[in-house]
Amino acid sequence: MREITELCKRRGIIFQSSEIYGGLRGAWDFGPLGAALKDNVKAAWKRHMIQLRGDVVQLDASVLMHPRVWEASGHIENFTDPLTECRTCNARFRADQVTQGDASTYECPRSDYSLCEFGEPRQFNLLFQTHVGPTQESGSEVWLRPETAQAMFVDFAHVQLTSRQKVPFGIAQVGKSFRNEITPRNFIFRVREFEQMEMEYFVRPGTDEAWHEYWIKHRWDWYTRYGLRAENLRIRPHASDELSHYAKRTVDVEYRFPFAWSELEGIANRTDFDLGAHAETSGKDLTYYDGERDERYLPYVIEPAAGVDRAALAFLIDAYRDEQAPAAKGGTERRVWLQLHHALAPVKVAVLPLSRNEKLVPTAREVADLLRPRFPIEYDDAASIGKRYRRQDEIGTPFCVTVDFETVEDDRAVTVRDRDTMTQERVAIDQLSTYLDERLDL
């Protein structure tokens, strides 16, 4: 884990929020490469959850919603974690973590968790509250959404009607969620502001269990397709005492993080709980008329709910390689590199003149301009070629294109280095786009 956090900081992928003020716990910033990585994770999700299907439509709803949404959903009452406080140092922990014995000593001000004495746990609500309008009087409270899902239920009838989708169909949303976590920890694994990728798939009651199985397999295939090794993934069904108040059955997709097997995504059978609750609270009819069967019902919902930040972290961890590789001067040297799936890699192609030489730079810039409209590229002519290869390896760039003296004086060809095999091939500049197109799995 330390290697990953250091690499992320060193390369400006992810670093502490407000760092110059000492940071803010549970908040992280994604730098240029991190932002691109996150965009790629979201694009890969949308591709498989929306674009390649015909039965899922997208929603981009407001973060602030009517307060009654959270009453109906049960969040005001139930969205709590047990909090326990140490009598001697006042540090606060999530009680379930204390009993599991994995509370990190870092959060105890004395850095000695063994001296802590815990009081009785109490329920702590994780919703962030704020106010709308110029006064903070009662009645003006609103909450930052702790999940994106509720908008899909509240907007169900509108979206169904206007998109002319028929059950079974889904509404998908990617966006920020906020939870006042008691103990944010493990880098970007548990934070207070994060992004979710959620889809509510509306089905006819009675078909829900089969659809649940379908989505569990679909989501497993998505993670493995984009690079997570199957041996680092598992499906863990929730025990009955762990189930949320709305769920008939839930499984977690868990990843073997360096700190423990932990949740990447929850896939829940939410039944008609949410549509039922919103129909009751709002007084609006949210039933669906099934024309083919000539019946009216409240659909059941299968929900695959994933976190962008957690997925990005898992992809980074699984891609991390620290190996000995053949060195240019003979022997071997350490090579740290990210074997990211091409579609997730922030930069697809790096264009590197052998040196910052007046003969090489114009041609290298010409090659960069040729590729720029097709792929996210990076042009780099600073430092030695070895150092530049190392940088590209560390950020997982699939191909490096080198312009050398032969290019300009002789063959109008470049050397293309493959990240995974480290093999190099000579490719004519006018063939380069096609060559890369054929090899990049985007």
Is the separation of the CB atoms in 274 and 222 below 8 Å? Answer: no
379-393 burial: b if 16+ Cβ within 10 Å, else e:
bbbeeebeebbbbbb
Residue 189 assigned as binding residue: yes
Residue 192 assigned as binding residue: yes
Residues whose CB falls within 8 Å of the CB of residue 359, separated by 6 or more in sequence, listed in order: 405, 408, 409
Residues whose CB falls within 8 Å of the CB of residue 96, separated by 6 or more in sequence, listed in order: 81, 82
Residue 103 assigned as binding residue: no
With CB atoms as reference, the residue minimizing the distance to ligand ATP is 307
Which residues of 132-188 form beta strands (DSSP E)? 141-144, 169-178
In the complex, minimum distance from the CB of residue 144 to ligand ATP, in angstroms, rounded to a whole number: 13
Residue 307 in the binding site for ligand ATP (CB under 6 A): yes
In the complex, minimum distance from the CB of residue 16 to ligand ATP, in angstroms, rounded to a whole number: 15
Residue 204 assigned as binding residue: no
Is the separation of the CB atoms in 81 and 124 below 8 Å? Answer: yes
The residue (of 175 and 398) whose beta carbon lies closer to ligand ATP is 175
H helices within 93-169, ranges in order?
Answer: 95-100, 149-154, 156-163
In the complex, minimum distance from the CB of residue 224 to ligand ATP, in angstroms, rounded to a whole number: 17
Whole-number Å distance between alpha carbons of 355 and 383: 8
The binder of ligand ATP chosen from 181, 208, 274, 378 (CB under 6 A): 181
The binder of ligand ATP chosen from 29, 263, 290, 406 (CB under 6 A): 263
In the complex, minimum distance from the CB of residue 223 to ligand ATP, in angstroms, rounded to a whole number: 12
The binder of ligand ATP chosen from 194, 320, 337, 375 (CB under 6 A): 194
Query: Radius of gyration (Cα) for the chain, nearest Å?
Result: 25
In the complex, minimum distance from the CB of residue 4 to ligand ATP, in angstroms, rounded to a whole number: 16
Residue 266 in the binding site for ligand ATP (CB under 6 A): yes
Residue 190 in the binding site for ligand ATP (CB under 6 A): yes
Whole-number Å distance between alpha carbons of 9 and 188: 13
Q: Which stretch binds ligand ATP (CB under 6 A): 187-195, 214-222, 228-236, 395-403?
A: 187-195
Whole-number Å distance between alpha carbons of 175 and 197: 7
The residue (of 166 and 238) whose beta carbon lies closer to ligand ATP is 238
The residue (of 152 and 416) whose beta carbon lies closer to ligand ATP is 152
Is the separation of the CB atoms in 171 and 155 below 8 Å? Answer: yes
Residues that bind ligand ATP (CB under 6 A): 147, 179, 181, 190-191, 194, 196, 263-266, 305-307, 309-310
